[in-house]
């Protein structure tokens, strides 16, 4: 499966979702407890609105551009600790993740039926978009070991494997050891995995490690099991200097970096956490910068994160 996916990514550029959580909160007006996007799956009217106003336009954009689509199933926080924070028993993790995959598949099937666009001409990958055990911006558990992380994430990833998702993309990761644990848990569940940390305005991870050190550590401790690496939940201006420096010295790790999901705003994580209004940034400028990064670094995955929507994605393609 991993070899086939790598071949697919080598042949075609894939678009991703935009910033679904911020879209739900700021543009759809849906309350997300603990920023858990899977909550929308339990409100039929709000889910149908998200599909019609947000997901279907993204599918249209990707298909008309000749790209493929990596479709998140919205399970970034559908794991034990956050399920408990919502007052639910941990044994509901499997049910929540199964429902997420079923609804995503149904949304794609409905769109295919109306658009008449086949899977052969337009591939859509169903992506289990998991995330860190703690906060995606701050490191609250820096002493977690890879074994502990593997044990924690195993239940969610096994439940997702049972649904037949195409791959896992671990988004907004903050430490190498938790990322190693997720990679190992995905391997034990038979799931290909992409690892995507976030970076601060200085291009470093929230634990202050460099992107290069992060990639090299995870590869070394997992026998290079991730398909490749991305960065998400950061602005282009936060990442570009790091990539330029790596390119200048021909850093080996750069060949493992193949995707970027950009925030609309150039604000820091702390500023975004404290924002009460949506910052959609400069849509055209962001698209231009993404194009430059894609061409210079041969990215095979581009898309949006916080503050972006289908308009940002349309500009990118």
Packed helices 146-163 and 176-188: angle between N→C axes, nearest 10 degrees = 40
Q: In the prediction, which pLDDT does 144 show?
A: 85
At 247 the pLDDT is 98
Give the end-to-end CA distance of the chain in Å, rounded to a whole number. Answer: 27
Residues in the chain: 317
3-state secondary structure 118-154: CCCCCCEEEEECCCCCCCCCCCCCCCCCHHHHHHHHH
What's residue 140's pLDDT?
64
* pLDDT at residue 267, as a whole number: 85
- Give the model's pLDDT for residue 150: 97
Residue 307: per-residue pLDDT: 96
* pLDDT of res. 269: 79
Q: Identify which of 17, 4, 275 has the alpha carbon closest to the alpha carbon of residue 137.
A: 275
pLDDT block averages, 10 residues each, the chain of length 317: 91 97 96 94 97 98 97 97 93 96 98 96 97 75 87 97 97 96 98 97 94 98 98 96 98 98 88 80 96 97 97 97
**In this predicted structure, what is the pLDDT of residue 137?**
61
């Amino acid at each position: 499966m991993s070899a086939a996916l790598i071949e697919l990514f080598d042949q075609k550029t894939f678009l991703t979702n935009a910033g679904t959580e911020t879209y739900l909160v700021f543009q759809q007006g849906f309350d997300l407890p603990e920023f858990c996007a899977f909550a929308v799956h339990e409100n039929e009217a709000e889910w149908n609105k998200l599909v019609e106003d947000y997901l279907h336009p993204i599918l249209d954009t990707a298909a008309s551009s000749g790209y493929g689509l990596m479709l998140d199933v919205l399970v970034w926080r559908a794991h034990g600790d956050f399920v408990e924070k919502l007052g639910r028993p941990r044994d509901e993790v499997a049910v929540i993740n199964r429902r997420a995959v079923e609804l995503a598949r149904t949304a794609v099937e409905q769109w295919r039926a109306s658009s008449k666009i086949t899977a052969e001409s337009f591939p859509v990958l169903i992506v289990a978009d998991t995330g860190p055990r703690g906060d995606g911006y701050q490191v609250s558990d820096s002493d977690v070991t890879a074994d502990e992380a593997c044990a924690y994430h195993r239940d969610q990833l096994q439940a997702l494997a049972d649904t037949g998702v195409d791959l896992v993309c671990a988004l907004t990761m903050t430490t190498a050891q938790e990322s190693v644990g997720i990679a190992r848990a995905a391997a034990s569940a038979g799931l290909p995995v992409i690892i995507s940390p976030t970076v601060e305005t200085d291009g470093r991870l929230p634990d202050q490690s460099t992107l290069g050190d992060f990639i090299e550590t995870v590869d070394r401790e997992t026998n290079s099991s991730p398909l490749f690496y991305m960065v998400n939940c950061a602005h282009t201006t936060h990442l570009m200097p790091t990539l330029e420096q790596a390119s200048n010295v021909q850093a080996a790790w750069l060949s493992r970096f193949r995707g970027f999901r950009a925030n609309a705003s150039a604000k820091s994580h702390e500023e975004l956490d404290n924002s009460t209004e949506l910052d959609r940034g400069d849509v055209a400028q962001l698209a231009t910068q993404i194009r430059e990064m894609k061409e210079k670094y041969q990215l095979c995955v581009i898309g949006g994160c916080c503050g972006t929507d289908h308009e940002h994605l349309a500009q990118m393609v």
